[in-house]
Amino acid sequence: MALFHNDESKVIPAKRDQAGYDGTILLKEGGSLRTSIKNYGMSVHETRFEQQATDIEVYIKQLIVEIDCPPLHIVIDSPVKYPDQKNWNKLKDNLGNIFERKAGFTYLANRKDESKGFEEGNTNLDWTVILHPFEQNIDQYHPAFKSYTLIISGLYHKNEHENLFSKIDDACVNLTKHALMKV
């Protein structure tokens, strides 16, 4: 709310027990805006993704030490869908081989119809994995520790946007319900 308190507007915080909004912005021209601040936190799906990604990072740290990898950039992406447990297991099952081969770019996919090959139209892409050594001089890094950067990304869960919009809708209804009250 402090961002709105300036030469053009004044902020009046709501009472501690005020329902529906958190403050009123009084505009220099005479208008006012009721403002509701929301912090929705992480969804169940986002929390699950972060926990799985953390587990993968722990495993990658082990691989980097066991294989004695040079300083490395690692990018892992689930570009087609939100990864389920089967996808995370597939990633973990294949990472050892990917790191051992020092594969620069790897696709992890499956076939829609297992009786056919990986021809066009019969492939579901699960993960892309990119390993790229640091471009800097390796002597710049402490020899007793393994240096790496790691990015793990994926699509949001199919219900994520609906969850957010329903929370915003609920907040709007609540704000509207209490906005008709006098300041």
Domain ranges of the chain: 2-41+161-179, 44-156
Please report which confidence band the pLDDT of residue 20 belongs to, taking 50, 70 and 90 as the band edges.
Answer: confident
Mean pLDDT for all residues in the chain: 86
- What pLDDT was estimated at residue 115? 83
Nearest-angstrom CA–CA distance, 56 and 34: 44
59 compared with 143, residue with greater pLDDT? 59
The residues near 120 (Cβ < 8 Å, ≥ 6 apart) are: none
Task: Extract long-range pairs of 32-41: CB within 8 Å, 24+ residues apart.
Answer: 32/183, 34/175, 34/178, 34/179, 35/1, 35/4, 36/171, 36/174, 36/175, 37/1, 38/167, 38/168, 38/171, 40/164, 40/167
pLDDT in tens, 106-164: 888 887 888 887 777 778 889 999 999 888 776 777 777 888 999 999 988 887 777 77
The structure's pTM equals 0.70
Please report which confidence band the pLDDT of residue 183 belongs to, taking 50, 70 and 90 as the band edges.
Answer: very low
65 compared with 161, residue with greater pLDDT? 65
- What pLDDT was estimated at residue 180? 61
Amino acid at 122: N
Res. 50: pLDDT tops 50: yes
- What pLDDT was estimated at residue 182? 53
| Residue 69: DSSP 8-state | P
- What pLDDT was estimated at residue 158? 83
Residue that is written with structure tokens 């992480």 in the block:
42
Res. 181: pLDDT tops 60: no
Task: Compute the Cα dihedral for 83, 88, 90, 92 and give only its sign.
Answer: positive
Q: What percent of the chain has pLDDT over 90?
A: 39
Torsion angle defined by CA atoms of residues 74, 79, 84 and 88, in that order, rounded to the nearest 10 degrees: -20
Residue that is written with structure tokens 């990604």 in the block:
53
Res. 179: pLDDT tops 70: no
